[in-house]
Amino acid sequence: MARIIVYLLLAFGWTFGLSGQDRITGLGFATRSEVIAKHCMAATSQPLATQVALDVMRRGGNAVDAAIAANAALGLMEPTGNGIGGDLFAIVWIQKEQRLYGLNASGRSPKSLSYEQLKAELAKQNRELIPSLGPLPVSVPGCVDGWFELHGRFGRVSMEQVLQPAIDYAREGFPVSELIAHYWERSGGLARYPGFADTFLPGGKAPRKGELFRNPALAETLEKIARNGRDEFYRGETAKQIDAFMKRVGGYLSYEDLASHRSEWVDPVSVDYRGYKVWELPPNGQGIAALQMLGMLKAFDLKAAGFGSPSHLHWFVEAKKLAFEDRAKFYADPEFHRLPVAELISDTYLRQRSQLIGGRAAQRVAAGNPALEDGDTIYLTVADQDRNMVSLIQSNYRGFGSGLCPDGLGFCLQDRGEMFDMTPGRFNTYAPGKRPFHTIIPAFVTKDDQPFLSFGVMGGATQPQGHVQIILNIVDFGMNIQEAGDAPRILHNGSSEPTGERMTDGGNVVLESGFEYATIRELLGRGHKVGFEVGNYGGYQAIRYDPKNDVYYGASESRKDGQAAGF
């Protein structure tokens, strides 16, 4: 009889919220304790990259040096999500100045490719939308310039020292970790694109878990960049090699595009959520979608509703639909359109939008009309002994990006241009020399004008949804930063998109295991379409500063291969 009862509990424990509650917290989803350290902390999606960041700080580097070093290492170790052929965004807290800096290091579309020419190229392929792969979605890689902008302003040790760990690993090899090996193996179809197999499929196949992977071509490229500076990539021999390669494969990205590239320092923007200021970067990224959602959700008593309740999930999904409708209409390159950023995140506007959230699932919603007044990825965060903190995200967009790997350089070019809209007259409509709508967003939280949390959740449209869920989990539901990342996630798909698609059927709610069946039944009763997916819920890293004890807390969620560690 006892054995039958155990079997019944195992079978139905998920339904009744009983499964796995063997930790002190009683939270069944908590995978481990937070990491706590006095001096420095790093959290990345690959443990070796975390160790690279800590080593740089042990040797005199600061958080910015360490973040760049970890990013360079991840470009080698997790090429399924990032690399120097992609873009970068960062938020940096500088303790001595008591302020945040924002960097937009995203690249622009080729100047030689007009809208009409792109339309003709798509017509040849019987396409209306820009493809994910090949030469057409390639835009200028902004990562390397982003490194040098960050380092030039805040770095402490030389770029040679910063990039040397990645160079050494690229030359000597590193053992591929489990989840990265899985996504690498799924990318074998890219072998038909020039340079990909030579760069990423040694012996004709993806490296398996535990196998050593070497990338001597990337080591040489990074060595040249370390020695010659950012101009090596944008005006030097590397730029010329990229230009020649793109001409050979029928692409439009040119030496001129690389030589004229520039990053932009921007002011982070924020909303107050129950006494916590949550900071994001303004468009062309999607960060303010998280701020819009939080601004709407302030109108609802989430704490009383409780984590995982029908009201929690319903309010979250409906706020997401409203924010993403504005995202589809307004988020674009501010150099081409005057964007109503302040208005979109104002208390007045978001209070009005929250009143549109009713008791049932909306099938379609309209973008707001704020009056103007005069896209796989990696995320990492680092904090140093001077209490500087870096929140950094970097991506090729889809996995390895375009699949195109310039001859002998060791990396793929991104496919971020896929995110343009080909419908004339919209904010995000394609134009030459324009930055596409961007999905990758770093985040930061301050409390009482002091640093509280540096965090991010990678993963396309999952990112603002993930940011909001982390904040709700910490502020409304009382979780620590590890629990907040391990908690089962909600993901809504099917909203209107900046690429032109429009929501007409309410989209779909997909849930990780861990939510009560009773909750799911009520969501269905409110008109939501609910499903389940595995592996599409992003990847979170975080560092919290505790001013009372003057220590850092680190977290790295269980959906990635990553590690939080400190000293």
Catalytically active residues, by annotation: 377
Tell me which H or E stretch contains 112: none
Beta strands 99-105 and 35-37, pairing class: unpaired
What amino acid is encoded at 498 in this protein? P
CA distance 494 to 328: 12
Total H helices, total E strands in the chain: 20, 19
CA distance 170 to 213: 8
Q: What are the angstrom distances between the C-alpha of 374 and each of 344, 371, 426, 477?
A: 15, 10, 22, 39
Q: What are the angstrom distances between the C-alpha of 72 and each of 54, 108, 132, 226?
A: 14, 22, 24, 11
Residues 6+ apart with CB under 8 A from 56: 65, 66, 69, 157, 161, 162, 165
User: Which residues lie across from 530 on neighbouring strands?
Assistant: 509
Residues 6+ apart with CB under 8 A from 500: 129, 421, 422, 423, 426
Dump the DSSP string for 384-411: -TTS-EEEEEEE-SSTTTTS---TTT--
Answer for the pair 52, 74: CB distance below 8 angstroms, yes or no: no
What is the largest distance, in Å, between two alpha-carbon atoms of the chain?
Answer: 77
CB burial class (10 A; 0-12, 13-18, 19+) of residue 20?
middle
As given in the structure block, the two tokens for residue 304 are: 């009383």
Residues 6+ apart with CB under 8 A from 495: 320, 321, 324, 325, 327, 328, 461, 503, 507
* Three-class SS state of 19: coil
DSSP state of 438: B
Q: Would you state the torsion angle of the CA atoms of residues 154, 155, 156, 162, taken in this order, to the nearest 10 degrees?
A: 170
Answer for the pair 122, 417: CB distance below 8 angstroms, yes or no: no
CA distance 114 to 60: 48
